Amino acid sequence: MPGRRLRLHVLRHNPQDPASVPRVETFELTESDGMTLFVALNEIRATLDPSLQFDFVCRAGICGSCGMLVDGRPRLACRTLTRDLGPDITLAPLPVFELIGDLSVNTGKWMRAMAERLETWVHAVDPVDCDRIEQRMDPDRAEQIYELDRCIECGCCVAGCGTARMRPDFVGAVGVNKIARFRLDPRDQRTDTDHYLLIGTDDGVFGCMTLLGCEDVCPKGLPLATQLAFIRRRMAVTALRGPASTS
Amino acid sequence: MRVVWTEVLVIGGGLAGLRTALGVARRGHAVTVLSLIPPKRSHSAAAQGGMQASLGNTLRGAGDNEDVHFEDTVRGSDWGADQQVVRMFVHTAPKAVRELAAWGVPWNRVRAGAHEVVINGARVTLEEPVAAQGLIAARDFGGTKKWRTAFVSDGTGHSMLYTVGDRAIAEGIEVQERVEALALIHDGSRCHGAIVRDLVTGELVAHVAVATCIATGGYGRLYQVTTNAVNSQGIGAAVALDTGVVALGNMEAVQFHPTAIVPAGILVTEGCRGDGGLLRDADGHRFMPDYEPEKKELASRDVVSRRMEEHMRCGKSVKTRHGDHLWLDITLLGPEHIRKRLREVYEICQSFLGIDPTKEWIPVRPAQHYSMGGIRTDPTGHSPHLRGLFACGEAACWDLHGFNRLGGNSVAETVVAGTIVGESIADWCEGEGGAGSVPMGLVREHWAQVKGELEGILGRSGGENATQLMEQMQRVMADHVCVFRSGPVLQLALDELQGLLKRSAQLGVRGTSPGANPELVDAYRVRRMLRLAICVVAGALARTESRGAHFREDFPRRDDRAWLRRTLAFWRGPDDTLPTLDYETLDVTRMELPPGWRGYGGKDHIEHPDTARRAAEVAAIRDGYSAADRHEIQEWLMPYRHLLPPRLRGRNERLDEPFGITS
């Protein structure tokens, strides 16, 4: 049985080409069994237009490279089956991030800047002697940290965020989740005062309007709304208690 | 020509490259990492199941130490590994896992008391000791005597990569994203950096460096069906090969993982079987015990993959329009375990197969997974053929894995090798390497050569199509250079690949849009990949024996007498269509563990004439010094500590080997 005819309407632009103007181009192809957008886009590049730009790496929903707007919604393209979509599919690059070309955006630059700003690493002062038995950790705590550590920095939450559209320096759910993750980590010796200095602003956790688009579109199903609410509460308490508070 | 100067250039931003860069920076040297993609998107993130390190914290890991890990790894390699390198690795792995713990990896931890696990298809209750509460836990993996694989659910590589990636950011390591090295700058004996293309703007830049380290991962994408990421194309290894003087070691040693989902080829972790999952055939029969009564589903990957293919040839496969497959059954592990410890597997099954693995079996068959071969280096990661060139991780062959890598030893290798090689690069910069000067004419010559190559491709609008050449190469490799190999079929593959290589001289592009130009990228890569593919096949054709993952139906026995040797492939002339093969002998008389039966798989190898004598010597040393501690005995058998950087030479503490209070 021949597959459906699909029409992929792709928002295209190559900023490297002075002659390029943003436009929608339509590509038609026949749906194959179990086709994902990874398969479809590669087929377009191989057979219809070799210049089409997009990013895939793991093609297994692990690396977070292929976030894009699929029918207006931020998703991982590799994990999107065409059979779950209609015959007309619109694809556009994630908003907020710098456009590299067509469906490829510079999430790497954005995420590195976020990491530098929020210092998303364990802050410890004691040097560790790796010859010796490691520090113990509560098994439940380790699992709780992993729950938040699963973020793949795909940028879907930022692209789905109302605040991020209005405030270019907003840290996004991805940033607040990082703070929540390191806050849970007993190896990180920062206090809530330190966290407050990083995200206690309108570009931080107080910028969130609780639209919860982030959690709706997170491909990893991270509990972003809960973390945002929790961190906001902690930061408010820290602010009220004054900068000496260390929770 | 724009020239950028840096002290150390690390090509590849995965775990191995980042850990190397950190080591170099901590020794006070300037380092720049080049990466095709944002580093946290590297294929290291796809390592699911875990990292081997002999901590011995769990009940089933009790008694584990470097000696046991050493023997497992050498047996796994089918005696192809460099045993001194294996020793360096198993000694450093516990330090590496502890360093990562301190940096933030949320390793799963031991919970004291009773817990239920599945072993050999049955539920068993294990009682974890109170003394181990909160220490790093471990799961079972194939080819190991102990439960040794430290893990973070089944997102181990992800957590490791994010921790090391963030550590690199914390320490201000410069990473250039979306750039690709296309040639090394060298004079035939000394490497001075690389010619690098910007994948966004298309600009070609010369990076001049005192030391250059290639950590670009494996070459899985030579194959049509692989678990590897789309950028695991081996370009780093190809760039080294193109120098004409650097050897690639054991390129024919390609691992096929038993459990890739059908048809997408996406990996589901060995942790599935480590945690008790079973392989079943079309009749629902658990077939592995019929073939491998000792280790069953947990024999090494090469053996399990071979048994699966063998069983499918017996007509026991499930036949679908996507091709034949077998089943992986993890339903017996229970929904809670799967959602907690195998959640990536759960997500992958849901997203790509539309099935619920807590209730349904997973369709699997072997697929290309790992490249044991790579840039040949010495035990410190330095190329013996081109000074100033280093390599580590999957891109390298130093040679930890021989002809088969054990599961859990690859992510462990990335950080262990990165730690060791980072020190060795710093030594080089502070010694011999720092003394040289860079001939700018040489830099310009290499830059112009790459420039000419790219302009040639851009100028041929009616030339060969890169996508077609790539697809044909991948099909040849999948059809003819897979789990089972034989002389006539390999010869056929070699002829076809040589034909494709000749055609690749006429590669062209349809569009010449400025900037990224993905078509141009495919074109210059496929040429490089074809050379790698030819090295794999030439090595496989010449190796008339079966060892580890390299199985010849026409030479089914391991032949230690003739083939206890490492293949070296050189590409001497730019117009050659075949590599020049050479061999390095593995010296039985210096082995700590002389060749024997692996404990699984075939038993009928051809013995090396020195094996019996060396085995007797080893036994005599063990008997003669039975009062000495295991470290001393090991030192008598095969010294290796002198090869390690001084700060890594200390012993590893364990619950059953405590340091005492003052040490």
Considering only CB atoms, which chain A residues are within 8 Å of B109? 136-139, 142
User: CB distance A101–B200 less than 8 Å?
Assistant: yes
Q: Residue A220, SS3?
A: coil
Q: Give the residue on A whose Cα is nearest the Cα of B200.
A: A100
B-contacting residues in A 118-157 (Cβ below 8 Å): 119-122, 124, 128, 130-139, 142-143, 145-146, 149-150, 152-153
Q: Looking at B142-277, which runs of residues are DSSP E strands?
A: 149-150, 174-177, 179-186, 191-198, 204-214, 248-249, 254-261
What pLDDT score was predicted for residue B647?
Answer: 95
B177 to chain A, minimum CA–CA distance in Å?
8
Instruction: State the catalytic residues of B.
Output: 257, 273
- Identify the band that residue A33 occupies on the pLDDT scale cut at 50, 70 and 90: confident
Ramachandran sector of residue B242 (left: φ over 0; alpha: ψ -120 to 50; beta: rest): alpha
User: CB distance A63–B46 less than 8 Å?
Assistant: yes
Q: Residue B204, SS3?
A: strand
Ramachandran sector of residue A36 (left: φ over 0; alpha: ψ -120 to 50; beta: rest): beta
User: CB distance B42–A60 less than 8 Å?
Assistant: no
- The model's pLDDT over A228-247, given as tens digits with 9 standing for 90+, comes to 999 999 999 999 987 554 44
What pLDDT score was predicted for residue B345?
Answer: 94
Residues in chain A: 247
Of A45, A62, A131, Cβ closest to residue B518: A45
User: CB distance A132–B229 less than 8 Å?
Assistant: no
Considering only CB atoms, which chain B residues are within 8 Å of A53? 516, 518
- The model's pLDDT over A192-209, given as tens digits with 9 standing for 90+, comes to 999 999 999 999 999 999
Handedness of CA A224, A226, A232, A238 (dihedral sign): negative
For chain A, the straight-line distance linking the first and the last C-alpha, in angstroms and rounded, comes to: 64
Q: Hey, what are B520's tokens? A: 């141009």
What pLDDT score was predicted for residue A243?
Answer: 59
In angstroms, the CA B89 to CA B85 distance is: 6
Of B134, B166, B344, Cβ closest to residue A137: B134
Considering only CB atoms, which chain B residues are within 8 Å of A142? 106-109
Residues in chain B: 663
- The model's pLDDT over B412-451, given as tens digits with 9 standing for 90+, comes to 999 999 999 999 999 999 999 988 789 999 999 999 999 9
In the numeric block, the tokens 């390999």 are attached to B490
Q: Which residues contact B287 (CB under 8 A, 6 or more apart)?
A: B279, B280, B281, B307, B311, B316
Helices (H), ranges, B381-465: 409-430, 432-435, 440-459
Residues of chain B whose pLDDT is less than 50? 663
Q: Hey, what are B648's tokens? A: 């890594």
What pLDDT score was predicted for residue B512?
Answer: 82
Given a cut of 70, whether residue A8 has pLDDT beyond it is yes
User: CB distance B96–A130 less than 8 Å?
Assistant: yes
Q: What is the dihedral of CA B494, B580, B523, A56, to 10 degrees?
A: 80
Q: Give the residue on A whose Cα is nearest the Cα of B168.
A: A121
Q: Which residues contact B22 (CB under 8 A, 6 or more apart)?
A: B164, B167, B168, B171, B173, B418, B422
Strands B51-52 and B149-150: antiparallel
A81 to chain B, minimum CA–CA distance in Å?
8
Considering only CB atoms, which chain A residues are within 8 Å of B514? 14, 16-17
Of B45, B95, B513, Cβ closest to residue A58: B45
User: CB distance B106–A149 less than 8 Å?
Assistant: yes
* Cβ–Cβ < 8 Å for B266, B368: no
A61 to chain B, minimum CA–CA distance in Å?
8
Give this prediction's pTM.
0.97
* Cβ–Cβ < 8 Å for B35, B177: yes
What is the average per-residue pLDDT within A51-64? Answer: 96
User: CB distance A56–B42 less than 8 Å?
Assistant: no
Considering only CB atoms, which chain B residues are within 8 Å of A146? 106, 108, 152-153, 155, 159
* Cβ–Cβ < 8 Å for B211, B7: yes
Considering only CB atoms, which chain A residues are within 8 Å of B43? 57-58, 63
Phi, psi of A68 (to 5 degrees): -160, 165
User: CB distance A14–B514 less than 8 Å?
Assistant: yes
Of A108, A121, A132, Cβ closest to residue B104: A121
What rounded mean pLDDT belongs to chain A? 95
Strands B362-371 and B278-280: unpaired
Q: How many CB pairs under 8 A join A and B?
A: 210
A195 to chain B, minimum CA–CA distance in Å?
16
B-contacting residues in A 41-100 (Cβ below 8 Å): 45-46, 49-53, 55-65, 79, 81, 100
Strands A88-92 and A5-12: parallel
What pLDDT score was predicted for residue A246?
Answer: 47
What pLDDT score was predicted for residue B435?
Answer: 87
* Cβ–Cβ < 8 Å for A118, A37: no
Q: What is the crossing angle of helices B156-170 and B409-430, to 10°? A: 20
- Residue A24 touches chain B, beta carbons under 8 Å: no
B547 to chain A, minimum CA–CA distance in Å?
30
B-contacting residues in A 146-205 (Cβ below 8 Å): 146, 149-150, 152-153, 182, 185, 187-188
A104 to chain B, minimum CA–CA distance in Å?
10
